[in-house]
């Protein structure tokens, strides 16, 4: 494992930032263009993962384990969020027979 990391030492931190920015943006685009509620949830997961990876990269950069502890907390939060969110989706499907988020536009007012 150590020798594997020796090869990684030439990757600049900025490339991690760009990579995570791209993944985060893909998640944002997914939330914007899709209407299937489950796909929107998956896009949110993508965004959370991008942030997680960036936190881990910065934790390595600053030699500080707190960043990786935060990633652990974010993972616990994501698990809770997915459980509640998917149960809400199941409820919506049971009431409207659809998971199209436009069915819920009456929530706007």
- In the region spanning residues 78 to 97, those forming contacts with another protein, defined by CB under 8 A, are 78-84, 86-91, 93, 97
Least distance (Å) from another protein to the CB of residue 13? 5
Element (H, E) at 74: helix 66-96
Size of the site for another protein (CB under 8 A): 78
- Which of helix, strand or coil describes residue 36? strand
Site for another protein in 35-74 (CB under 8 A): 35-36, 38-39, 41-43, 45-46, 49, 52-53, 56-57, 59-61, 63, 65-66, 68-69, 71-73
Backbone angles phi, psi at 36, to 5 degrees: -75, 120
The residue (of 14 and 109) whose beta carbon lies closer to another protein is 14
The residues, ordered by sequence, that sit 6+ positions from 48 with a Cβ below 8 Å of its Cβ are: 74, 78
Q: Does 15 bind another protein (CB under 8 A)?
A: yes
Report the distance separating Cα 48 and Cα 71, nearest Å: 10
């Amino acid at each position: 494992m150590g020798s594997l990391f020796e090869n990684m030492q030439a990757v600049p931190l900025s490339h991690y930032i760009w990579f995570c920015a791209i993944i985060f943006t893909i998640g944002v685009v997914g939330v914007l263009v899709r209407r299937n509620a489950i796909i929107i949830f998956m896009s949110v997961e993508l965004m959370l993962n991008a942030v997680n990876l960036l936190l881990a990269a910065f934790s390595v950069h600053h030699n500080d384990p707190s960043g990786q502890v935060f990633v652990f907390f974010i993972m616990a939060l994501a698990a809770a969020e997915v459980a509640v969110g998917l149960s809400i989706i199941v409820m919506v499907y049971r009431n409207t027979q659809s998971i199209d988020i436009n069915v819920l536009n009456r929530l706007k007012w």
